[in-house]
A and B are shown apart, each in its own frame.
Chain A
């Protein structure tokens, strides 16, 4: 009994302590800082709403935020649309190789994110592989993909595609495809088998995949820095600058709080908006 208690305490207290120390406390620090001020690289400990006022009124920040939001939604939707067929084909037709296929998806993660972005710069830049080839052939280079929001978009897709495919793959591999046969025997054509059975029963996995792309895109700073160009500043990049060159930490903290709240809201909408019962969730796993 004594032993049991000790075990339970260890199992519960250690992770809880860790989360408290390295997750909750920094978050509180961030919130506190967002209500202070920074002047000449020094923190002024006076309570004020000035930072939030700046964020809500200055058009640059509003633009950055809306651009980030649009980017995150666009990237999330595009990734779900691209990942579904890929994951579906791996699960259905991968046969005994499907584990290997799903592992192959992880390969890009073996190098760092910065490295992958530099590689992408090489692909998309003015002298990059794509435009270089176009110029060689005597065609005009694609300005669209040179240091632009389109370039950032391509980079986000590239970065998070493996995550979303893996999530949807894991959902589909646990899906009982005999249910699709049952629907077919009930008179459903292929399209309706998908819309009535396959899609709804994999909706939770799809939402998780969407969120895994949406949240990091919303706060991304590296991608716009490397590929976004002059009109590609995103909210996260601007936030990083507050903590770096400009030294306006308090404003940066306020931006962090805004991002946190928005991600939390998006998560809440999607998790409460999806009726788990309607995605076949029983709390008991597949039966």
Chain B
């Protein structure tokens, strides 16, 4: 990855609005040919970061470089970017053809180039039959493809995508995820994809940057972000998980839950925790083990409240004896546990993420 060097460099960039720090000293290197997601809850500063990269906003501090060139003070139209917006923002007074040709015309490309690029983009995005329509004559998915085409048509240095799938229905979204990923591979330019939807981030990205409260919370390969969260926020935000509270026992090797009658061995990696520390434990919903209580063993005693069928998976809605609800995801079986069954909930200590409480 590093041999191609840093293509886009974001260097300690901050953006303040009055007293509010929308973005606080974020440093990020984006490599050519990578798909990077900026993931965060709404108001975390992820869209601010995207607007700074686009040049629609200027950082209060820090510099932004494209291919070694400082572009911090350049307006958007001199940065050679493509951008796709959540609300599509197609020009309503222009046909699909004119919308797609817009970035080329702005770059004063000759007509032959415009025609050639139009043909390419209409072919790739299957828009050939829609070229003479106006945006309000298109479905949401078609508008989305036009917006994507308008972003890609002029061979941008990088493509910025601001929650482009948020306005689409679920099925279409999953289709588009695959498509977008395919275009990125074909074009070999970086895609910077802003989203609050961790599924989108996980399904498409090479790397994920998690942003919270204006700070870069984590940056890494999607697998490691998912499996080895470095902070409680990432553990909670990426993937679906349940949180438990507990304390490290005096022996320093086991953790006892605060609200439930259950203990488990402290995972190997958690060396910073000492005896007596209060801890937060996060367990991904698909990492739970469920055993019938009648079979014996250790675990949190629960009752099965409901079973939800999610295609190949089953979601067990469990209620602990203390009244908390926990969701455990298991592969579909022909003989699921019946409702009202008494079970014991546990997990492999290596599969949970454990942090000092209040951290």
**Chain A residues within 8 Å of B, Cβ to Cβ:** 176, 178-179, 181-190, 192, 196-197, 200-201, 277-280, 282, 284, 287
Contacts of B77 in A (CB 8 A): 184-189
**Out of A185, A187, A200, A287, which one reaches B93, CB within 8 Å?**
A200
Contact across chains for B136 and A186 when beta carbons are under 8 A apart: no
Given A277-B134, A287-B136, are A185 and B54 neighbors across the interface (CB < 8 Å)? yes
Q: How far is the CB of B285 from chain A (nearest CB, A)?
A: 37
Contact of A184 among B76, B136, B160 (CB under 8 A): B76
Please provide the chain B residues from 87 to 108 with a CB less than 8 Å away from any CB of chain A in the complex: 87, 89-93, 102-103, 106-107
The docked-state distance in angstroms from the alpha carbon of A176 to that of B76 is 18
Q: Does B81 contact A (CB under 8 A)?
A: yes
Q: Nearest Cβ distance between residue B262 and chain A, in whole angstroms?
A: 52
Q: B75: CB under 8 A from chain A?
A: yes
Smallest CB–CB gap between A280 and chain B, Å?
4
The answer, yes or no, to whether B172 is at the interface (CB within 8 Å) is no
Q: A197 with B85: in contact, given A187-B103, A189-B77 (CB under 8 Å)?
A: no
A225 vs B150: C-alpha distance in the bound complex, in angstroms?
A: 57
Are A192 and B106 in touch, CB under 8 angstroms? Answer: yes
CB distance from A272 to the nearest CB of B (A): 17
B102 & A185 in contact (Cβ 8 Å cutoff): no
Q: Which 9 A-B pairs have the closest CB atoms?
A: A187-B106, A185-B83, A280-B92, A182-B89, A280-B93, A186-B103, A184-B76, A187-B77, A188-B106
Known: A179-B91, A184-B75, A187-B107. 16 other contacts (CB 8 A): A178-B85, A178-B87, A182-B83, A182-B90, A185-B77, A186-B82, A187-B77, A188-B106, A192-B106, A196-B102, A200-B93, A201-B91, A201-B93, A279-B93, A280-B92, A287-B136
A277/B93 contact (C-beta < 8 A), A183-B102, A184-B76, A189-B75 known: yes
Q: Is the interface of B mostly helix, strand, loop or mixed?
A: loop
Among the listed A181, A192, A197, which residue makes an inter-chain contact with B91, where contact means beta carbons less than 8 Å apart?
A197
Question: Would you give 24 A-B contacts (Cβ < 8 Å), ordered by A?
Answer: A179-B89, A181-B89, A182-B83, A182-B89, A182-B90, A183-B91, A183-B102, A183-B106, A184-B76, A185-B77, A186-B77, A186-B106, A187-B76, A187-B80, A187-B103, A187-B106, A188-B106, A189-B77, A189-B106, A196-B91, A201-B92, A280-B91, A280-B93, A284-B136
Count how many pairs of residues, one from A and one from B, have CB atoms less than 8 Å apart in the complex.
Answer: 73
Distance (Å) between the CB of A190 and the closest chain B CB? 8
B258 interface residue (CB < 8 Å to A): no
Query: Total interface residues on B, using CB and 8 Å?
Result: 26
B binding-site residues for A, Cβ under 8 Å: 54-56, 75-77, 80-83, 85, 87, 89-93, 102-103, 106-107, 134, 136, 150, 154, 160
Are B134 and A181 within 8 A (Cβ)? no
Chain B residues positioned under 8 Å from A278 (CB to CB)? 93
Contacts of B136 in A (CB 8 A): 282, 284, 287
The A interface, classified by DSSP as helix, strand, loop or mixed, is helix
A162 vs chain B, min Cβ distance (A): 28
Kindly identify which residue among B55, B87, B92, B150 contacts A186, using a CB–CB cutoff of 8 Å: B150
Residues of B within 8 A of A280 (CB): 91-93
Contacts of B160 in A (CB 8 A): 185
CA distance A207 to B75 in the complex (A): 32
Q: In the complex, are the beta carbons of B56 and A187 less than 8 A apart? A: no
User: Chain B residues near A185 (CB, 8 Å)?
Assistant: 54, 56, 76-77, 81-83, 160
Which residue in chain B gives the minimum CB-CB distance to A279?
B93
> What residue in chain A is nearest B104 (Cβ atoms)?
A187
CB neighbours of B134 from chain A (8 A): 277, 282
Chain B residues within 8 Å of A179, by CB = 89, 91-92
For A189, the chain B residues whose CB sits under 8 A away are 75, 77, 106
| Set of chain A residues within 8 Å of B75, measured between Cβ atoms | 184, 189-190
Which residues of the partner chain A approach B81 to less than 8 Å between Cβ atoms?
185
Q: Output the least CB separation between B125 and chain A (Å).
A: 16
Look across to chain B and name the residue whose beta carbon is closest to the beta carbon of A182: B89
- With a cutoff of 8 Å between Cβ atoms, the chain B residues found around residue A287 in the complex are 136
- Please measure, in the bound complex, the distance between the C-alpha atom of A279 and the C-alpha atom of B89, giving whole angstroms: 15
Name the B residues within 8 Å of A279 (CB-CB).
Answer: 93
* Residue in B closest to A181 when the chains form the complex, CB atoms: B56
Q: Is the CB of A186 within 8 A of B93?
A: no
Closest-by-CB residue of A relative to B93 is A280
Instruction: Report how far A181 CA is from B77 CA in the complex, Å.
Output: 10
A200 to B93, CA, bound (A): 8
- Chain A residue with Cβ nearest B90: A182
Smallest beta-carbon distance A242→chain B, Å: 46
- In the complex, how many angstroms separate the beta carbon of B56 from the nearest chain A beta carbon? 5
Separation in Å of the A95 CB from the closest CB of chain B?
13
A282 partner residues in chain B, CB cutoff 8 A: 92, 134, 136
Report the separation of the CA atoms of residues A186 and B154 in the bound assembly, to the nearest whole angstrom.
9
Nearest-CB residue, chain A, relative to B156: A187
Taking the closest CB of chain A, its distance from the CB of B127, in whole angstroms, is 17
User: In the docked arrangement, what's the CA distance between A200 and B81, Å?
Assistant: 24
Question: With the chains together, A189 CA to B55 CA distance in Å?
Answer: 12
Judge whether A184 and B93 touch: CB under 8 Å.
no
Q: Decide: A182 near B106, CB < 8 A? Known: A197-B91, A278-B93.
A: no
